[in-house]
């Protein structure tokens, strides 16, 4: 598998990015080519630090970096030689099968949208995030790509999320839920109510109805849809809450000798829960709806997160989600066109 990695994207680039790349190359032999886009001297210095001279690496020198203050559209227009733009170019021209970036999310989304274009039947791409719960993992979509989504876009999110849940999570008939402020039919703002009516009218979707915050970790559907504004707040709140809870538990466990002994005995259990809730273990999130594979990682991603983002890129390539999205949207379009007649 051939992957383009934005080596200059992220709060701790290129250090964490290159370290994660080295870990991935050592663990994943199915990565046959890894393009590192960015400042060549800095990339080479990081590779030397880790004693890495892997022949699968090819450095693509770039002269620009997208700053967090840049807008997504302006960064693509004005910084054509940025590390993220050049990485997406490699997917566009067929040199790479996927792009991974922990940099400016808006720039990665915009570059992918402009250069790769959307899949047929999809108007706006959306970020899918795999989330943990007590009984299973589920898909949150959109986790931040399209904050101003219209109801029709959220319906498209449902098709994309269902295809992803089928191919990646192995759910035969994924249940869809719509994020709202209550499960009752009358709950939600105007956009939520309009979206719910549209989803109810699509027989191809296994639509549960509204879901609220209480449902996320006890009995979630396989896919929860929302706009990117709500989804991104939800994602970051959940991640911050998990981190805060473990910090509070650790503080209490180390407060006395008795609790320290208990903590030692329960350490394996705590480690399993931490692994399940640690965002770094998931690494990145696929941008669904574009004609290619784009994996978005956190700006503050660790080396572990970058390694797992590259793993997710490989998994997304292998699962071939895009053809299934196209097929599902086309079936819906054909059914909607035929129904009036």
Question: Per-residue pLDDT for the chain (341 aa), expressed as one digit of tens each?
Answer: 999 999 999 899 999 999 999 999 999 999 999 999 999 999 999 999 999 999 999 999 999 988 877 877 878 888 899 999 999 999 999 999 999 999 989 999 999 999 999 999 999 999 999 998 888 999 999 999 999 999 999 999 999 999 999 999 999 999 999 999 998 888 999 999 999 999 999 998 999 999 999 899 888 999 999 999 999 999 999 888 888 988 898 898 888 988 889 888 888 888 888 777 777 777 889 999 999 999 999 888 899 999 999 999 999 999 988 999 998 888 887 767 766 54
Structural contact between residues 290 and 7, judged by C-beta atoms closer than 8 angstroms: no
Q: What is the pLDDT of residue 340?
A: 56
Q: Where are the domains of the chain?
A: 2-122+289-319, 126-279
> Is domain 2-122+289-319 annotated with CATH 1.20.140.10?
no
Q: 50 Cβ partners below 8 Å, 6+ apart? A: 18, 19, 22
pTM of structure: 0.89
* DSSP-based three-state secondary structure for 186: coil
Q: 15 Cβ partners below 8 Å, 6+ apart? A: 46
Distance CA 189, CA 13 (A): 40
Structural contact between residues 180 and 227, judged by C-beta atoms closer than 8 angstroms: no
Residue 277 backbone zone (phi > 0: left; psi -120 to 50: alpha; other: beta): alpha
Q: What is the pLDDT of residue 156?
A: 96
CB atoms within 10 A of CB 18: 26
Tokens matching residue 75: 């960064």
Q: What is the pLDDT of residue 339?
A: 60
Strands 223-225 and 284-288, sheet pairing: unpaired
Q: Which string of DSSP letters, residue by residue, matches 275-291?
A: HHH-HHHH-EEEEETBS
Q: What is the pLDDT of residue 178?
A: 97
Whether 2-122+289-319 shares its CATH topology with 126-279 is answered yes
Tokens matching residue 143: 């986790």
- 4's enclosing H/E stretch is strand 2-6
DSSP, res 55: T
CATH of 126-279, one of 3.40.718.10, 3.30.460.80, 3.90.1150.10, 3.40.50.720: 3.40.718.10
């Amino acid at each position: 598998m051939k992957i383009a990695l934005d080596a200059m994207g992220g709060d701790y680039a290129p250090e964490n990015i290159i370290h994660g790349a080295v870990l991935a190359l050592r663990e994943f032999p199915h990565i046959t080519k890894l393009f590192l886009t960015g400042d060549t001297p800095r990339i080479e210095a990081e590779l030397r630090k880790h004693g890495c001279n892997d022949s699968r690496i090819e450095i693509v020198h770039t002269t620009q970096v997208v700053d967090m203050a840049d807008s997504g559209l302006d960064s693509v227009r004005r910084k054509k030689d940025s590390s993220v733009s050049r990485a997406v170019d490699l997917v566009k021209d067929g040199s790479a099968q996927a792009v991974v970036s922990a940099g400016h999310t808006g720039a990665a989304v915009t570059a992918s949208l402009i250069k790769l274009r959307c899949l047929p039947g999809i108007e706006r791409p959306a970020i899918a995030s795999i989330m943990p719960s007590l009984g299973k993992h589920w898909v949150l979509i959109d986790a931040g790509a399209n904050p101003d989504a219209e109801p029709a876009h959220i319906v498209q999110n449902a098709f994309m999320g269902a295809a992803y849940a089928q191919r990646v999570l192995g759910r035969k008939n994924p249940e869809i839920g719509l994020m709202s402020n209550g499960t009752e039919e009358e709950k939600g703002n105007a956009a939520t109510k309009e979206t719910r009516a549209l989803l109810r009218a699509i027989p191809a979707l296994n639509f549960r109805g509204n879901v609220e915050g209480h449902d996320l970790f006890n009995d979630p559907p396989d896919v929860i849809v929302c706009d990117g504004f709500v989804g991104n707040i939800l994602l970051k709140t959940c991640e911050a809450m998990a981190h805060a809870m473990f910090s509070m538990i650790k503080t209490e466990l180390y407060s006395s000798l008795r609790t320290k002994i208990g903590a030692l005995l329960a350490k394996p259990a705590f480690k399993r829960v931490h692994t399940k809730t640690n965002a770094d273990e998931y690494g990145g999130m696929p941008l669904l709806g574009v004609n290619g594979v784009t994996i978005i990682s956190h700006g503050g991603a660790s080396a572990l997160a970058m390694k797992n983002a590259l793993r997710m890129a490989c998994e997304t390539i292998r699962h071939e989600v895009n053809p299934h999205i196209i097929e599902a949207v086309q079936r819906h379009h054909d059914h909607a066109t035929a129904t009036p007649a």
